[in-house]
Amino acid sequence: MGRQTLKAIGFYEHGDIDKLQFLELPRPEPARGEVLINVKAVALNHLDLWVLGGLPALKLEMPHIGGSDIAGLIAGLGDGVVGLQVGQRVVVNPTLSCGNCAWCRRGEDSLCDEFGVIGEHCRGGAAEYVVVPARNVMPMPDDFSFIEAAAVPLVFLTAWRALITRGQLRPGESVLILGASGGVASAAIQIARLAGATVYAVTSSPDKMEKARALGADWVVDRTQENWSSAVYNATNRQGVDLVLENVGAATWFDSLRSARKGGRIVTYGATSGPRPQTDIRYIFWKQLTILGTTMSTRSEFDDVMNLVWQGKLKPVVDSVFPMEEAHAAYRRLQAGEQFGKVVIEIG
């Protein structure tokens, strides 16, 4: 019998979506402390487009396979793995940490000296099989679909840490969420509502406004129709909001500072429009703003988020599902920014 293989969608060189190709590779064996997952669904993130395009500090072993958000069945156990069984339905925490450094010992895994993300720093789940650390795996309820489970981790974890852990969002506060159709934003609207906050959202079409309201946004503005920062200012009785969730960067930073109320917080987790914004330091000291950075999440935040999802208090937002054969179309939908919520690839 020949060596077992897997089908995957991956790339040998960085570039545009046309660099993605269908691959047939040897199936990996789980090492000590690892499990082999038979992937059933993988959700895409903008991270996948950036990794495909190439990130300056990221040196990858080629071919690389993306895909950070993985749900599937356990297909093999490495030595020393306890408490998990072959055939179990699981969802995967995409955050990699060493468990050993000073940050990890403090429970601050996302500051780990060896921090990484599955699908970015190592091969991900856009494949029939992937090997992951056993401690990243969480069993999922039988009544939850693989597609819904895969749509959760990266965006909900990012939004949860940004709003709750870093932003310290409190009941009765107001929060402004930019780019409300993105994966993190559609998670953030729900988390902010669950936390008892009033949600202001910025989006870019009547259809997306309707969807943001359906998720729980109290007030929505179409940035293509009016100046969103002025609209927020007016909608808050010229006060501004307590917390601005920022991921756009250069294009919005100045207006985000303007939209925060006195004593407010800006929590930043991305810079999709560029990392070097125009800023006005006077807004920061006059209004006594606090600027907080955040990235990914810790293991305990993964537990908190997934338990709220299993209880139905947070709901994954699936925009579209593509079979693996149409993976290029899935990547293109994400790149075009047409989606509301997660683009998911169903495997097998």
C-alpha to C-alpha distance for 6 and 57, rounded to whole angstroms: 29
Q: Residue 165 has what DSSP assignment?
A: I
CB of 108 to Zn ion, least distance (A): 9
CB nearer Zn ion, residue 49 or residue 101: 101
Span 91-120, contacts to Zn ion by CB under 5 A: 97-98, 101, 104, 112
> What is the dihedral angle through the alpha carbons of 32, 37, 43, 44, rounded to the nearest 10 degrees?
50
CB of 115 to Zn ion, least distance (A): 7
Contact pattern from residue 18 through residue 47 relative to Zn ion, giving x for each residue in contact according to CB under 5 A and a dash for the rest: ------------------------------
CB of 134 to Zn ion, least distance (A): 17
CB nearer Zn ion, residue 98 or residue 214: 98
Q: Residue 260 class from Cβ within 10 Å (0-12 exposed, 13-18 middle, 19+ buried)?
A: buried
Residue that is written with structure tokens 């856009």 in the block: 126
Least Cα distance to 62 among 22, 13, 115 occurs for 13
Contact pattern from residue 53 through residue 92 relative to Zn ion, giving x for each residue in contact according to CB under 5 A and a dash for the rest: ----------------------------------------
CB of 173 to Zn ion, least distance (A): 32
Strands (E), 78-213: 89-92, 95-96, 116-117, 129-133, 137-139, 174-177, 198-203
CB nearer Zn ion, residue 62 or residue 98: 98
My answer on whether omega of the bond before 63 falls inside 30° of 0, hence cis, is yes
Q: Which residue, judged by CB position, is nearest to Zn ion in the bound state?
A: 112
**Secondary structure (DSSP) of 1-37:** -PPPEEEEEEESS-SSGGG-EEEEEEPPPP-TTEEEE
CB nearer Zn ion, residue 13 or residue 113: 113
CB nearer Zn ion, residue 68 or residue 110: 110
C-alpha to C-alpha distance for 20 and 44, rounded to whole angstroms: 14
CB nearer Zn ion, residue 49 or residue 122: 122
CB of 104 to Zn ion, least distance (A): 3
CB of 101 to Zn ion, least distance (A): 3
Span 154-193, contacts to Zn ion by CB under 5 A: none
Please report, as ranges, the residues that interact with Zn ion according to CB under 5 A: 97-98, 101, 104, 112
